[in-house]
Amino acid sequence: SQQGEEDPQALSIQEGENATMNCSYKTSINNLQWYRQNSGRGLVHLILIRSNEREKHSGRLRVTLDTSKKSSSLLITASRAADTASYFCATDRTGNQFYFGTGTSLTVIP
């Protein structure tokens, strides 16, 4: 079974607005990563947050991790049309493989 579940499944916002998507997982993890996928193509790594970190920033991206709630959030600020994509969280539970969530489909309307 999948480790992560993203919420919401789909999100539609106007360009310039912020987009927030959440990821929940079931077991303890070593780290959590966020990836972006453009329409049926390969995934692109966005950011990694370790289990002992609570928040991390990278450009317009802000990721938080709450290990007590087993959840993470990805915030994209000042969204652009080019941010339209699906976003996945991936967790490493055993150190041997990644478990990907179901993804959030983000549409940014110009």
Partner 1 sequence: KAGVTQTPRYLIKTRGQQVTLSCSPISGHRSVSWYQQTPGQGLQFLFEYFSETQRNKGNFPGRFSGRQFSNSRSEMNVSTLELGDSALYLCASSLVWDSYNEQFFGPGTRLTVL
In the three-class reduction of DSSP (H, G, I as helix; E, B as strand; rest coil), residue 83 is classed as helix
Cross-strand bridge partners of residue 106: 11, 85
Residue 101 interacting with partner 1 (CB under 8 A): yes
CB 23 within 8 A of CB 32: yes
Residue 39 interacting with partner 1 (CB under 8 A): no
- Please identify which residue in the block is written with the tokens 């549409």: 107
Residue 87 interacting with partner 1 (CB under 8 A): no
Residue 50 interacting with partner 1 (CB under 8 A): yes
Cα gap 56→80, rounded to integer Å: 21
Specify the stretch interacting with partner 1 by CB under 8 A; choose among 15-23, 39-47, 60-68, 75-83.
Answer: 39-47
List contacts with partner 1 (CB under 8 A): 2, 30-31, 33, 35, 40-45, 48, 50, 88, 92, 95-103
